[in-house]
Amino acid sequence: MASTILLDIGFMAMLVVVAFAIVRLRSLFAIVMLQGVYSLVSAAWFVSLDAVDVAFTEAAVGAGVSTVLMLAAMLLADRESRPVPLGRQIGPLLIVVFAGLAMFYAVGDMPAYGDAHSPANSYVGHDYLDRTAEEIHIPNVVTAVLASYRGYDTFGEAVVVFAAGLGVLLLLGLNGNAGRWRAKPNGVRVSKQAAPAARKRPLPADAPQPMSAPAATIMTTRAKKPAAKKKKGGSS
Amino acid sequence: MTPHVILRIIAKFLIPLIALFAFYVQFHGDFGPGGGFQAGVILAASVILYALIFGLEAAKEAIPPSWVRIGMSLGVLLYGGTGVVTWMLGGEFLNYSVLIDGYPAKGQHYGIIAVELGVLLAVASVMLAIFYAFGSRQPDLSEEDW
């Protein structure tokens, strides 16, 4: 017991150190890497707390996939974060101090670590533990709760994941071609250019300017339209 | 001479193992830690590792974006469809006990497997879709750019 508490304190100390390092750093690449480290350390901490399923998810999602996604997003944006002037740091600092004090105030109401009679362990938790063995016949109660007893919640989660993917696809396109689709109102191309980030290489310097040519075509079609209508009216 | 020989060799060795581990996590989820979410993310991670080492185009040839698009909707459809089937069989939505007549516990097993498969498909496809979407929008970096 005492050794695992030492382990827990060690992990939490590492988390605090990594968090301070993330706040102090300016290089976004290092920050993304440290976020992966943070996830890995918290996964190890979850294992020491016997929450193996959560640790699994944290290691796979936090340290694995989200690091790659953050890197990909960083490459689209910027490599360095600009320093924030001191005057704009006071407000966030106040909020953080206030929220931290509120959390310390709430600590007194939390159940003791490993308390068998805590609210989380006493009502439906007991039911799930007792009834899984006779109703579902699988050893892992977490899976039984996740997929069967709380099937609605998991369905909602799956739909949320789907919606997130759908949103990214609608915004960016699966092949990075969201900006390459060209609208053709009245058979006239509005834009000859792809979205800037979708291009593999920057255009040569002598290429036509992005806005001038389409703007000209729009102007000419607008000018032509009333004339065409007049002709029609005249003939009929 | 292609660069990163060690990375390529190690990745070639690791990628099948990672994919295999994903399926172990998926189908062993009833007995040990794990399940559809974790397995989906691990499966996507194996493809993402392939894309990082061998290039996004190679990964897109292995797992075409059209599969990814179909997979993410098929996963949610499989989950919701299981619910509709239980509904049709006279139970409540997602009450798997009615799936096999007279054996509610067996029905629960089959229902959980179907639902976890749906989660696996949806999560793995969505992770890949987001990676493809972000990864396709940037030009290839040269080594010095990092």
pLDDT digits (tens, 9 = 90+) for A120-138: 777 888 888 888 888 888 8
Query: Sign of dihedral through CA atoms B22, B24, B27, B32?
Result: negative
Q: Do A158 and B123 touch (CB under 8 A)?
A: yes
Q: Do B133 and A172 touch (CB under 8 A)?
A: yes
Overall average pLDDT of the A92-116 stretch: 90
Chain B nearest CA to A228, separation (Å): 42
For A22-33, how does the pLDDT look when each residue is reduced to its tens digit (9 = 90+)?
A: 988 989 999 999
Overall average pLDDT of the A68-92 stretch: 86
- Chain B residues within an 8 Å CB radius of A74: none
Least confident of A64-68, A76-80, B39-43: A76-80
Select the residue of B30, B119, B146 nearest A158 (Cβ to Cβ).
Answer: B119
Q: What percent of chain B has pLDDT over 70?
A: 92
Between these two residues, A204 and A219, which has the higher pLDDT value? A204
DSSP assigned state of A62: I
> φ and ψ at A80, to 5 degrees?
-130, 145
Quote the pLDDT of residue B73: 93
In this structure, whether the domain defined by A7-83 belongs to CATH 3.10.20.30 is answered with no
Quote the pLDDT of residue B70: 92
Where in the sequence of chain A do the CATH 1.20.120.1200 domains occur? 7-83
Nearest C-alpha in B relative to A76: B138
Chain B nearest CA to A88, separation (Å): 31
Least confident of A213-222, B78-87, B101-110: A213-222
Residue of A211, A195, A34 lying closest to B138 (CA atoms): A195
Select the residue of B33, B41, B96 nearest A61 (Cβ to Cβ).
Answer: B41
- Chain B residues within an 8 Å CB radius of A148: 94, 96, 108, 111-112
Contacts A–B by Cβ distance under 8 A: 169
**B42 and B128 Cβ atoms separated by less than 8 Å:** no
CB within 8 A of A193, min separation 6: which ones?
Answer: A210
Select the residue of B30, B44, B72 nearest A143 (Cβ to Cβ).
Answer: B30
**B100 and B57 Cβ atoms separated by less than 8 Å:** no
3-state secondary structure of B126: helix
